[in-house]
Amino acid sequence: MTLEIIGISVLWLFLFLYVIVASIDFGAGFFNAYSAFTNKQHILTGIIQRYLSPVWEVTNVFFVFFFVGIIGFFPQTAFYYGTTLLVPASIALVLLAVRGSYYAFATYGAKINHRGYIYMYGLSGLLLPASLSPVLAMSEGGFIKMDGAQPYLDYWALFTSPLMWSIVVLSIAAVLYISAVFLTWYANKAGDVKATELMRKYALIWAGPAIITATGIIYELRSHTPEHFARIMDLWWVFAISFLLFVGTVYLIWKKKNYGWAFILLVGQFFTAFFAYGASHYPYLLYPYLTIYDSFTNESMAIALIIAFIAGLGLLLPSLYLLFRLFLFDKDYVKGKSDYHA
Amino acid sequence: MWFEDAALLSRILTAMTLSFHILYATIGVGIPLMILIAHWVGIKKNDEHYILLARRWARGFVITVAVGVVTGTAIGLQLSLLWPNFMQLAGNVIALPLFMEVFAFFFEAIFLGIYLYTWDRFEDQRKHLLLLIPVALGAAASSVFITIVNAFMNAPQGFDILNGELVNVSPLLAMFSPAVPTKVAHVMATAFMTSAFVLASIAALRIVQGSKHIYHKKALLLTMKLGFVFSIATALIGDFSGKYLAEYQPEKLAAAEWHFETEGEADLILFGVLDGDEPKYAIRIPFALSILAHGTPGAEVTGLNEFPEDEIPPLWIHYLFDLMVTIGMWLAFFSAVYVLGAWRKWPIIQKKWFRWLTVAAGPLALIAIEAGWWFTEVGRQPWILRGYMKTSEAATTSGQVDLMIILFAGLYFILGVGTIVVLSRMYKRNPVEKELAQREKADKGGGTE
């Protein structure tokens, strides 16, 4: 395995982890808002806050890790993506900032329960994946163009592209689906029958759109980037495994059993699809300008980064384990029997 | 676009984001240590008040951390969005500390979450205290790593440029540039000092507002003592920083001191205004600049005239330098008087006007932080990477920076107002008297909550 592959695998893994934890976070905000809208807020709010409060900050770090890491391993990305993404990334940043600080303001500070805020928080959770996902479309090529030596983003091509909009729809559907499955399991662990029932319903509703848009995107790539489509076809069996895992999750949720396994299968489904997609994108970071080879950092920096990464993981994994043990897997905490809030 | 200078607009947006972020970041680095100390004193003295102090600080701290995290994310991404050419170069040379900073931040985030949600969960308070150590360490470490990146921009090393290409990159050499020791030490000391004074301001404000509770007096004395210790440390390190500048970045020191001719026995210029090349209305302290720069009164200090005109920083940084130093000196002096006064029971420190001066300490320290960073950043203009890359070559070519300035200005306004409203509401609704009474009641009832 070359250093380039190690680098991109590490980053892809962290992006994947961000997708999962952020989906839970974004979706939770939306479901909370939706339940307030339908006067069922009392059912969900407690469960959602107990999960999010100790971990919301950690969620954020996965994102920072990804973009700091990609500049470190692939400095050329700063030049292409940095120049072109100013507007979309700034909008995403503002949404992220408003969301993160609002969450802290509301839950730790003022205990704001005004509905307007709850709706805005929920809505921002859907706008965020929508504003981040065009980057995936851009990486397919055709949207970033060159003006001499300077790249620029062709907004018209981007906003009229069915591919971009399918990715946006997929990201929203996936966020709601992932979040609903997780919260079904979490509510069930808490022994909260009503919340479990509600989240189970949402999980089943969003399963369909998630899988349909995912398939649709593969189809659209056939005409957008035939080369990429061909490599996806080479990996068809991984996508098939992913689909089977999807069927397994839906089956378990439908049959109301083993919600824990349902969530694990869901993570497996997204993991396989995410890595198969990434592998089929290989070797391009930005088609056709950047491959992982021509944008890679010098060797001494790559080795230093990988050593730092291993040392960092040595510190992080036990800490994350402790965090999970104390909150996610602690019976009394999950059930809300004890409140140890500062 | 108002005008075509993307580099200037990028500078404005970066300055705006950083100026806002450092207020929260400074507190974010310093307060965990203060909480740790208060918690520890509480356990050691078996004094409920100090524990409660730690607890209430921690609660407010979450709010500032939240804004610090989101604005930190903003500046992290803005570096690539606004300075793509610089980040391309920096990614090759200085990515290591950037990467390590994220790990430190990760570590802090995990344990802060745990600390906040495990009050009274452990039988032994000391176990809970242990959780705070990684928070304080993580906060300090992330400030160390990010300051290392900034130090590199001031004193780049660890690479060679051959025909416009980077060769012989050494990540470790780049990390430990000569600017690191003084910069890191100064950032840490001022963060601790500022946090102590900010907390002192809050306690003093409650006393001024009429609260007679002993809790506020304990808080005030503890934080003023800490503020004093760290302001002395700051002054010492500031002196080392002057010597560093004279050696490695003489143009910054010369611009800060309006020192034009290279000469020995150089005066230190305090205040004043510049009239052409002549400082007016200034207080001149003989030999002081030579002492600051090299430690001896006769030492020769390089003047601005030695540098090409397009490579010297703007001369108005003198005012920033003066502002920073004056506030630093004042705070060291003032906290010394306070601590001495509290010990010798001087009636002066009970006076209302004196209390108001104490209230001013926190905001003053924050102003000094801003002035200091503005000084150090504007002082390396026109370079983004001193000696290698000018700021104008590093900026984005995007035409939408002006719109982004408006967008982010709106964001920071909302976040700033939000912080103030939420924090003041939080403490007004639940004053310490009320919380103490509740805890007593709970204790008598046999419950812990």
Inform me whether the pLDDT recorded for B26 exceeds 90.
yes
Least confident residue range of B76-90, B132-146, B284-298: B284-298
Average model confidence (pLDDT) for chain A?
Answer: 82
CA distances (Å), origin A292, targets A270, A288, B87: 23, 11, 17
Q: How far apart are CA A333 and CA A50, in angstroms?
A: 8
Given a contact cutoff of 8 angstroms between Cβ atoms, the answer to whether A217 and A137 are in contact is no
Q: Quick: pLDDT tens for B27-69.
A: 999 999 999 999 899 888 888 888 888 888 888 888 888 888 8
The A residues from 300 to 319 touching B (CB cutoff 8 Å) are 300-301, 304-305, 308-309, 312, 315-316, 319
Q: Is the peptide bond before B279 cis (omega within 30 degrees of 0)?
A: no
The pLDDT assigned to B31 comes to 92
Percent of chain A with pLDDT over 70: 96
Quote the pLDDT of residue A152: 78
Residue B359 is given by DSSP the state H
| Element of type H or E holding B270 | strand B268-270
> How far is B204 from chain A, CA to nearest CA, in Å?
22
In single-letter form, the type of residue at position A106 comes to A
Distance CA B86, CA A75 (A): 10
Q: Is the peptide bond before B156 cis (omega within 30 degrees of 0)?
A: no
B367 lies within 8 A of chain A by CB: no
Bridge-based pairing state of the strands A290-291 and B268-270: unpaired
Arithmetic mean of pLDDT, B195-203: 92
Query: Which candidate from A82, A98, A304 shows the least CB-CB separation from B87?
Result: A82
Q: Supply the pLDDT for residue B403.
A: 84
Among A158-162, A274-278, B20-24, B186-190, where is mean pLDDT lowest? A158-162
Q: A340 vs B84: CB contact, 8 Å cut-off?
A: no
Mean local confidence (pLDDT), B93-111: 86
pLDDT confidence of B279, banded at 50, 70, 90?
A: confident
Contacts of B403 in chain A (CB under 8 A): 87
How is residue A282 written in tokens? 């290989």
- Token pair 């524990």 is found at B51
Is there a contact between A48 and A32 (Cβ–Cβ < 8 Å)? Answer: yes
CB within 8 Å: B81 and A94: no
Residue type, A184: T
Nearest-CB residue to A58 (from B92, B100, B109): B109
Cis omega (within 30 of 0) on the bond before A288?
A: yes
Q: What digits encode the pLDDT tens for the residues B134-176?
A: 998 998 998 999 999 998 888 888 888 887 777 788 888 888 8
Query: What is the average pLDDT value for chain B, to the nearest integer?
Result: 84
Q: pLDDT tens digits for B326-360?
A: 999 899 998 888 888 878 877 777 777 888 888 88
Report whether pLDDT(A148) > 80: no
Q: Are B146 and B125 in contact (CB under 8 A)?
A: no
A5-34 pLDDT per residue, tens: 888 888 888 889 888 888 988 888 888 888
pLDDT at B148: 92
Can you list the pairs that A326-333 forms with residues at least 24 positions away whose Cβ atoms lie under 8 Å? A326/A54, A326/B114, A326/B117, A326/B118, A327/A50, A327/A51, A327/A54, A327/A55, A327/B113, A327/B114, A327/B117, A328/A51, A333/A50, A333/B117
Residue A138 in contact with partner chain B when CB distance is under 8 A? no
Residue B270 β-bridge partners: B283
Model pTM score: 0.87
All residues of chain A having their beta carbon less than 8 Å from the beta carbon of residue B84 are: 78-80, 82-83
Residue A156 in tokens: 């018209």
Say if CB B244 and CB B263 are below 8 A apart: no
- Chain B partners within 8 Å of A117 (Cβ): none
Tell me which residue of A129, A15, A10, A107 sits closest to A61, measured CA to CA.
A15
Q: What angle do CA A16, B95, A288 make, to 5 degrees?
A: 60
Torsion angles phi and psi, residue B279, rounded to 5: -70, 130
Would you tell me how many other CB atoms lie within 10 Å of the CB of residue B411? 23
Of A279-293, A326-340, B23-37, B40-54, the range with the highest mean pLDDT is B23-37
Please report how many Cα atoms fall inside a 13 Å half-sphere around the Cα of residue B267, on the Cβ side.
11
The model's pLDDT over A85-113, given as tens digits with 9 standing for 90+, comes to 888 888 888 888 888 888 788 777 666 66
Q: Where are the alpha helices (DSSP H) in B155-287?
A: 171-175, 180-208, 214-248, 250-256
- Band (B447; pLDDT cuts 50, 70, 90): very low
A153: which 2 tokens?
A: 């983003």
> Where residue B20 falls among pLDDT bands split at 50, 70, 90?
very high
Average pLDDT over residues B309-325: 86
Please tell me if residue A156 touches chain B, with a CB cutoff of 8 Å. no
Distance to chain A for B62, nearest Cα, Å:
7
User: Sorting pLDDT into bands at 50, 70 and 90, what band is A299?
Assistant: confident
Taking the CA of residue B449 and the nearest CA in chain A, the distance in Å comes to 8
H helices present in A225-329, as ranges:
226-234, 236-254, 259-281, 299-323
The vertex-A68 CA angle with A165 and B96, nearest 5°, equals 160
What tens digit of pLDDT does each residue of B359-370 get? 888 999 999 999
pLDDT bin (cut points 50, 70, 90) of residue B4 is: low
Distance from CA of A169 to the nearest CA of B (A): 25
Is the Cβ of B420 closer than 8 Å to some Cβ of chain A? no
Minimum CA–CA partner of A306 in chain B: B96
CB neighbourhood size of A316 (10 A): 18
Burial B269-297 (b: 16+ CB within 10 A, else e): bbebeeeeeebeebeeeebbbbbbbbeee
pLDDT, one tens digit per residue, over B62-82 is 888 888 888 988 898 888 888
Q: With an 8 Å Cβ cutoff, are B96 and A72 in contact?
A: yes
Residue A270 in contact with partner chain B when CB distance is under 8 A = no
Q: Does the distance separating the beta carbons of A298 and B80 come in below 8 Å?
A: no
pLDDT of B445 strictly over 60? no
Q: How far is B135 from chain A (nearest CA, A)?
A: 12
Q: Quick one: DSSP state of residue B314?
A: -
Residues 22-81 of A with CB under 8 A from B: 53-55, 57-58, 60-61, 63-65, 67-69, 71-76, 78-81
Distance from CA of A100 to the nearest CA of B (A): 7
Report the residue from B102, B422, B423 with minimal CB separation from A61.
B102
pLDDT reading at A328 higher than 90: no
* Residue A300 burial (CB count, 10 A): 18
Taking 90 as the threshold, does the pLDDT of residue A323 lie above it? no
Q: Do A75 and B95 touch (CB under 8 A)?
A: yes
Instruction: Inform me whether the pLDDT recorded for A310 exceeds 80.
Output: yes
Q: Specify which residues A290 forms β-bridges with.
A: A286
pLDDT grade for B446, boundaries at 50, 70 and 90 = very low
B117/B363 Cα distance (integer angstroms): 30
Q: pLDDT tens digit string along A165-176?
A: 888 888 888 888
- B423-435: pLDDT as tens digits: 888 887 777 777 7
Using CA atoms, how far apart are residues A149 and A139, in angstroms rounded to an integer?
18
Angle, CA B148 vertex, CA B404 and CA B19 arms, to 5°: 35
Structure token digits, residue B101: 């900073």
Q: Measured between CA atoms, how close is B101 to chain A, in angstroms? A: 9
Reply yes or no on whether the pLDDT at B2 is more than 60. no
